[in-house]
Each structure stands twice: as structure tokens, then as C-alpha cells.
A and B are shown apart, each in its own frame.
Chain A
Amino acid sequence: MTAAAGERTRAHGWRIIAAQECRDLWLSGRGPLLLFAYAVLLSAVTYLAATNQILNFLEQRESVNLVLQIAVAVGVLLTLVVAADAISGERERGTFESLLLTPVSRGAIVLGKLVAAMSLWGAAFLVSVPYLWVLGKGVAVVGEAVALGLVIGTVLALSMAAIGLVISAVSSSNKVSLAVALFLMLALFAPTQLPAMPTSSVGDLLVRINPVTAGMHYIQLVLLKGHGWTQDLTYLISPVVAVVAAVVALAVAGPRIVRLAGGVGSG
């Protein structure tokens, strides 16, 4: 390998991996299938919100909020699942060793896979835009909902993708990785279904420390209560801390945990 080739590997390794991972995700049919299921779910929720005898009592803003929350939650969940499969899945398919045998750094491998996982969030978000537009037609809320979904959803998706990759790297099998990721997701999202969590100080604290509930609550405050974007920024502390911590952990620990075998103590 020439010096120029070595330089190219160092500079572009992550981009080459990201491009291939995206091709694998989208051309193998896995990405389109997940996106199709996501679109079906959003269609059903949007249809119910717009036509159901009970749900259509919802004010238009509430309908947009409902669909946006579901779009963000499921989009982030899909991102986490794809990230949790990224390393442990490759190990089980026997393709990971070939990747480790290239001069591309472990950090670049992780970054490439992170970008590919985030591509699913990007696509999911684009799919959700028409639904928000249909429900929000006539009230000036669509633009705000799309912007909120993009910002908060991206922060949450990035933190979950980074956590998913860490889980995938340290898990002894793909089954373990996916199970842990799904449990984490349920544990983080379950509180969003509890009614009126922030009414007590303990409830408010629980909402604030969970990045998912904090992010969702922030969306609700801006979209439903008409608060300004800067009014409740304290609710974004935990999502921002989560994304910074997860990305830093991945960057620092990545080179050590991205190895041929997962599990504690493996060489």
C-alpha cells in the first residue's frame, strides 16, 4: 500500500464504510421494509386522529403533537435497533473480521456505522413530514412541528444510535444486543405514556432526567402550550447530556470495544 493510499484510508475510511453500510441497509431491503412498516403505522395513527369519532375531538394542534410524538418515538426506536445490530450482527454473519483486517481505524468503523444508522432516522423523519402536513393544514403549526421533530428527534436518535452501537460492540451475541436495546427503549419510552407526569416535583424530576420524556415534553410545551423555543430549554439538558455522553463514550471506548468477539473479558 502506497503512502497516498494510506492517507486516503485515514481520511476517507469512515465515508467508504458509511456509504457501504447505507447501501447494505437500503438495497438489501431491510431499510425500505422498516420504513414501510413505519409509514403504515403513521398512516393508521393519522387516519384515526383525523377521522375517528372519539379522537377527532382532538384539536388540530393536539393531533399534530400526537403524530409527531409517535413519529419521533418510533423513528428513534428503529435507529436504535439498526445500531444495535451493526456490530454484533456483522460478527454473527462472519463479515466483521474482514472489516477489522483493513487498515481503517476502529473509530472510523464506528463512525461509518453511526452515519448509516442515522440515515434511517433521516428517512423516517422525511416520511413523517406529509402526515404532519395533512393534520396541520389550516393552522400555522406544521413548520414548527417539523422543525421541532427534526431538532429533538435528531438529538434523541443520535444518542440512541451511539448507545446502540456501544451495546452492539460489547454484547456477546446479536440476540443479546437487540434484547438489551429494546429493553432500554421500553424503559425510556414507557414513562411518556403515563398521564400528567410533571404535575408533581418528583414527576417533573423523572421527566427531566429521562432524555426521551424530557424531549417529548419539550415538544408538547412548544406545540400545544405555545411556549417559545427558549422558554423551557432546561428540559433539553438531559437529551443534550445524553447525546454528548453517548458520542464521547463511543469515541473514547470505540477503539477498545470494537473487536472480533463481544462479551466481557473476551480478547
Chain B
Amino acid sequence: MPGVTLEARELSKWFGSRTAVDSVSFTAREGEVIGLLGPNGAGKTTTIRMLSTVLAPTGGEFSVAGVPSSRPADIRARIGVLPESAGYPAHQTGLEYLIYHGRLFGLSRDEARNTAVKLLGQVGLSERAQSRISTYSRGMRQRLGIARALVNDPDVVFLDEPTLGLDPAGQREILTLVRTIAEARGTTVVLSTHTLPEVEQVCSTVLILDKGKVLAAGTVADVTSTDANRQSGHLRVPPAQVARAKEVLGGVAGVSVLSDERRDVIAITATDGMNAALSAVVDAGIPVLSFQIDGARLSDAFLAMTRGSTS
């Protein structure tokens, strides 16, 4: 079994009286891509900032590659981070930027240049290495940021919303890069994101946060199954029958009617499967035009767990 590279125990952060992160504990192993999920304000960025030693935890402790949180400079030497709102010096070229950061991590001038050239190639920016960063697109800046996060050959990489603001092609490029980092280098990647399909695509495990607390942790399959008993679905009936169908569904035990997304579609959730709901509508003589079960997806589990925060 791969070794543990990241371990957080009861990690907490308060800003005054406000709790940003509340007793978060988890572990991550070599080559693992762990998805950090949660609505806005869930504590994802604060968690990453604590683990990357930029913010001091109010409580709890953590270790990275066996280095305890009491040695922040040594931890920073072993991690790479792409911050959420990373800025870039517009007048520097991509190559200069990576050489500078390589040198800050103790590489000699030649080592820093060689590493920068290699990383620019890996993130597909070789041809723009000598261009000023001000001429880079957002996707290119994100790729440059990922290259910077790898400049010290880290044990753990934290990527905070790396696909934010990118078009689908740009998102795909970044996700491919994330997978490559984990697979080829054996690096642990902590990926914070809002985009759930991304997590299903690349993450081996997930951690769902809400209001600073861990709501669920485990593999994607584990987390999805925690909400498996509660299924959601969409029932389409003729518009004239919608009111009656709602009335019928309201009388079925364990079934809740959600909101009207469309005039002829009723969104429902059921705690004991959908059969009773469907039977009740059919028995009432209401024609069912279509019926779709949404459950068994990470997004359903996520939305169910964080309903109060995401609505």
C-alpha cells in the first residue's frame, strides 16, 4: 500500500468568532488524487492554506511527507500549490517566472533553467516560454501556475479551483495534467473544485466539506452510496395533470415533491426507492410521459448533503 503523504488531525481555523474549518481530519497517500468539495465558504481554500502553511491553524495538527506542521519551511519545500486567485507578474516571461521560483526553492541557476524548460514542455507552454505572461490566456496562466507548483518536485500538490473560468477544452487539458502528475510522478494531488464531473473523472477519493465540517470522506463510490437510499428523479406528465400528480405523490409515504423546474416536470425525492411513487401515479390513471432516476451520482450525494448551503 502506498505511504501516507498527507495527514490532518482535527484541523480547525477560526477568524474571530467565525469558524472557517472545524476539526477536519483525513489522510492521503502517494499518487492519490483527493477531491476537496464543498459550496462557497465551505472551508476548502482555508484548509489548503493551512496545509500549505500560509495560514496558521487555530487547532489541530498535520504532517506532509512525514514533516510535522511545526516545521513550516520544511513543509513548503515539499509541497506545490496553485492558489485560487494566483496572480502573475505581467512583465516576466513564463521561463523567467519559473526560473525565479526554482531558485527560491534552492535550485542553482542552471538547475532552475533546466527544470523550467522541462516543466514548460510538460504543460505545453514551450513555444510561449519567452513571451510575457501578460500575453498568456487564462488557461495558459493556469498551466504555468501548475508548472510552478511542480518546480520543486513536490510530494503533495494542492490545486485550488484550477479549472475556474476555463472553457471545456481548457478544463480537459488541466484535468489530463492533474492525472498525469499523480500517475507519472506518484505525487499526491489535493484538488479543490466546484465542478463535480471533474472529481468523478480524476479523483480517487473525495472529502465533502460544508460550513467547515467534513460531511463525507472516502472513495467516490463510498460517498455516493452514503446517499443511495435517498433517490431523486424527474417525472413528466401532461401539464393538465401536474397538480393532480403532485397531490397523489404528496400522499405517498417517504416521497417529497421538490420544486417545479418545468411546467410539466415534477422533481421528487424518495427515501425508499421510486417504485411506490411511480405506482401511485400510474394507479391514479395519470399518464407518465417520462420518468428518470437521478441517483447514484456524486453530484446527487453532494447536493443532498449540502442542500442548505447550495440552494
Interface-side segment among A3-11, A130-138, A211-219: A3-11
**What is the distance, in angstroms, from A263's C-beta to the closest C-beta of chain B?**
11
Q: A24-B89, A97-B54, A260-B49 are in contact. Are A6 and B106 (CB under 8 A)?
A: yes
B86 / chain A contacts, CB cutoff of 8 Å: 94-95, 97-98
From B13, B15, B54, B152, name the one whose CB has the most chain A CB atoms within 10 angstroms: B54
B77 is contacted by which of A1, A259, A260, A265 (Cβ under 8 Å)?
A1
| Residue of chain A at shortest CB distance from B46 | A267
| Contact in complex: B81, A95 (CB < 8 Å) | no
**What is the distance, in angstroms, from A89's C-beta to the closest C-beta of chain B?**
11
Q: A98-B86, A102-B76, A103-B73 are in contact. Are A13 and B13 (CB under 8 A)?
A: no
How far, in angstroms, from A252 to B54 measured CA to CA in the complex? 19
| Residue of chain A at shortest CB distance from B158 | A101
| Contact in complex: A1, B152 (CB < 8 Å) | yes
A115 within 8 A of B: no
A17 within 8 A of B: yes
How far, in angstroms, from A8 to B77 measured CA to CA in the complex? 12
B236 within 8 A of A: no
How far, in angstroms, from A100 to B76 measured CA to CA in the complex? 9
B52 within 8 A of A: yes
Count, chain A residues at interface, CB 8 A: 32
Q: A1-B152, A267-B15 are in contact. Are A101 and B52 (CB under 8 A)?
A: yes
| Residue of chain B at shortest CB distance from A98 | B86
From B76, B79, B103, name the one whose CB has the most chain A CB atoms within 10 angstroms: B103
Q: A101-B81, A103-B74, A260-B54 are in contact. Are A9 and B49 (CB under 8 A)?
A: no
From 80 to 123 in chain B, residues with beta carbon under 8 angstroms from any chain A beta carbon are 81, 83, 85-89, 91, 100-101, 103-108
B78 within 8 A of A: yes
B55 is contacted by which of A4, A5, A98, A267 (Cβ under 8 Å)?
A267
A28 within 8 A of B: yes
| Residue of chain A at shortest CB distance from B152 | A1
| Contact in complex: A20, B100 (CB < 8 Å) | yes
Q: A17-B104, A267-B15 are in contact. Are A103 and B76 (CB under 8 A)?
A: yes
- How many A-B pairs with Cβ below 8 Å? 86
B106 is contacted by which of A1, A17, A20 (Cβ under 8 Å)?
A1
A7 / chain B contacts, CB cutoff of 8 Å: 106
B16 within 8 A of A: yes
The SS class assigned to the B binding surface is loop
How far, in angstroms, from A218 to B88 measured CA to CA in the complex? 45
| Contact in complex: B85, A94 (CB < 8 Å) | yes
From 1 to 53 in chain B, residues with beta carbon under 8 angstroms from any chain A beta carbon are 13, 15-16, 49, 52
| Contact in complex: A97, B83 (CB < 8 Å) | yes
A139 within 8 A of B: no
From B87, B91, B104, B152, name the one whose CB has the most chain A CB atoms within 10 angstroms: B104
**What is the distance, in angstroms, from B213's C-beta to the closest C-beta of chain A?**
19
**What is the distance, in angstroms, from B205's C-beta to the closest C-beta of chain A?**
24
| Residue of chain A at shortest CB distance from B50 | A267
B105 / chain A contacts, CB cutoff of 8 Å: 1, 5, 9, 102-103
| Contact in complex: A101, B106 (CB < 8 Å) | no
**What is the distance, in angstroms, from B116's C-beta to the closest C-beta of chain A?**
14
B56 within 8 A of A: yes
| Contact in complex: A9, B15 (CB < 8 Å) | no
How far, in angstroms, from A12 to B237 measured CA to CA in the complex? 72
| Residue of chain B at shortest CB distance from A101 | B81
Question: Chain A 84-116 against B: per-residue CB contact (8 Å), 1 yes, 0 no?
Answer: 000000000111011111111100000000000
A16 within 8 A of B: yes
B230 within 8 A of A: no
How far, in angstroms, from A163 to B77 measured CA to CA in the complex? 30
A27 within 8 A of B: yes
From 6 to 42 in chain A, residues with beta carbon under 8 angstroms from any chain B beta carbon are 6-9, 13, 16-17, 20, 24, 27-28
| Contact in complex: A267, B56 (CB < 8 Å) | yes
| Contact in complex: B108, A8 (CB < 8 Å) | yes
How far, in angstroms, from A2 to B16 measured CA to CA in the complex? 39
A8 / chain B contacts, CB cutoff of 8 Å: 106-108
Q: A101-B52, A267-B13 are in contact. Are A95 and B89 (CB under 8 A)?
A: yes
How far, in angstroms, from A101 to B149 measured CA to CA in the complex? 9
How far, in angstroms, from A120 to B27 measured CA to CA in the complex? 48
B152 / chain A contacts, CB cutoff of 8 Å: 1, 5
How far, in angstroms, from A101 to B74 measured CA to CA in the complex? 11
Q: A101-B81, A103-B73, A103-B77 are in contact. Are A9 and B104 (CB under 8 A)?
A: yes
| Contact in complex: A1, B13 (CB < 8 Å) | no
Q: List 20 A-B contacts (CB under 8 A).
A: A1-B106, A2-B106, A7-B106, A16-B100, A24-B91, A94-B88, A95-B87, A95-B88, A95-B89, A97-B54, A100-B54, A101-B52, A103-B74, A103-B105, A259-B54, A260-B54, A260-B55, A265-B16, A267-B13, A267-B56
Binding site for A on B (CB under 8 A): 13, 15-16, 49, 52, 54-56, 73-74, 76-79, 81, 83, 85-89, 91, 100-101, 103-108, 148, 152-153
Q: Report, nearest first, the 8 A-B pairs whose CB atoms are least far apart.
A: A94-B87, A5-B106, A9-B106, A102-B104, A1-B77, A8-B106, A103-B77, A95-B87
